[in-house]
Amino acid sequence: EHYTYVGHRIIIQESIEHFGAVVWPGALALSQYLESNQEQFNLKDKKVLEIGAGTGLLSIVACILGAHVTATDLPEVLENLSYNISRNTQNMNMHKPEVRKLVWGEGLNEDFPVSTYHYDFILATDVVYHHAALDPLLATMVYFCKPGTVLLWANKFRFTTDYEFLEKLSNIFNTTILAEFPESNVKLLKA
């Protein structure tokens, strides 16, 4: 698949083997939003963590916008994620992105100790759908969001569980809807 953001042509290799191996509507929406709102969300030299990075499109866009990016996902997705990020960011004058394993709710303090890791932005797209890992996902978001951290979450709302997750998130964070994309049922939230 080919995409163009911030004047760069991005080529993404998808895979049908895993959920994280296709480009979902939330990634397109948040990539477009970050490109169009660089004054409001200036990523230059900021530390950015993407959870559930999938194919890496959003992490690549964040790199192009000047961020120090750590793209994370499940172990079985990392090979394709690394390939896409490397292919689209090599030979560019930017911070070299990092790809790391992150299983929501597991080993957070061992793999990402609070004393060492602080992020300005947490990015998440289409991480909420009908699955059993919603509580560990919320715990992971809470773990990484320190005072001053901005969570940007874009999601295609499909199921009642999506709205239930939004309600839980809103009980913990000060949450605002930044944009809605009715053609794809995607909501973009800032927390």
Paired tokens of 56: 């890496």
Check: CB of residue 19 under 8 Å from CB of residue 53: no
Q: What is the pLDDT of residues 107-154, one digit of tens each?
A: 999 999 988 999 999 999 999 986 789 999 999 999 999 999 999 999
Question: Domain containing 103 — which CATH number?
Answer: 3.40.50.150
* Domain housing 11: 2-190
pTM of the entire structure? Answer: 0.95
Paired tokens of 54: 């999938």
What's the structural domain count of the chain? 1
DSSP 12-67: ----SSSGGGS--HHHHHHHHHHHHTTTTS--TT-EEEEES-TT-HHHHHHHHTT-
Residues found in the chain: 191
Strand order in the sheet with 98-101: 98-101, 68-73, 47-51, 121-125, 150-156, 186-190, 176-181
Q: What is the pLDDT of residues 141-185, one digit of tens each?
A: 999 999 999 999 999 999 899 999 999 999 999 999 999 999 999
